[in-house]
Structure 1
Amino acid sequence: MSLAADVLTRAKEKGVMIATAESCTGGMVFAALTDIAGSSAVMDRGFVTYTNDAKQEMLGVSSATLAAHGAVSEQVAKEMAEGARANSKAQLAVSITGIAGPGGSEHKPEGRVCFGITFGTDTHTETVEFGALGRKMVRESARDHALSLLHQALSTK
């Protein structure tokens, strides 16, 4: 069974609805989950918020947070995940914001991706440095990591 299929099975068993908030992956996590028949039982909605305006308008990310930390930060990932949960019928939400490349900067290099996962009242964030693997590989790695975060959340609650 694939990781995505296992996430769906666990969510169904627990009666948990899922939402996603994605930036650099452009909906890849939501697509991976909804590629599987029967996903509508647990998939509520996916937010693709590529711009800062979209993050603010759709998820309620604070302009002050964006100004202080930038879009690629754990603080923004936290607000994205919590915004996805608050603006949906989901109990579990995952967020992704990062630099897929090419490019980046000394302070925010290519391959840096920040994640948020919120389940109930608990929110966890983390940053993963995938490195300059190329745009396609960074995005796929971020998708897979988000699926593993969903899997872990459903395995521990």
Structure 2
Amino acid sequence: MRLPSAELQGRWWTWAASEPDATNPVADTDGSACGRNQPHDVWFLAGTFGGQVKRACEVPSGRPIAAPVVNTFGDPQNCEAFMSSAQGTVLLDGKVVEPETYRGESITVQGAQGNPLTGEEGRFAATGCGLWVQLPPLASGKHSLKIRGRSGDFSTGVDYTLTVAASSA
């Protein structure tokens, strides 16, 4: 299942803005928050607020995965400037995965009180943009996912060790 880009971005930003700093998946330094508030039809992974981390995460069998390589939201001008220098690489089990480019689309984000992305509770409209990957469900076992993104002076990187549970038949 592939989500349309505007839906993917709106849902991801809402997911990322659903937790306060202490349990926020973007602020997570080891993967302990990666399972928080996951939707039933896709498994979201997070980048960082800058810098690099290593995370270990258990992913349910049969769930497609979606993650930003580098992303932002704001107004159309913010996105135009951000995307002018956005670049990134993704390696899944050592193989290159080409990120998709989303230049700027209208999204709706729902934030929880005290979240570090929007800072406030409530629903708002914005323009979302970035480089993204959507992966089909992975085979059971351990997988390595390395994400590196950059735009201007901002850079982010995450080395994920993903463990996909064997499906229960």
Structure number with higher helix proportion? 1
Scaled by the length of structure 2, the TM-score of the pair is: 0.30
Determine which structure has greater relative contact order: mean sequence separation of CA pairs < 8 Å that are 6+ residues apart, divided by chain length.
Answer: 2
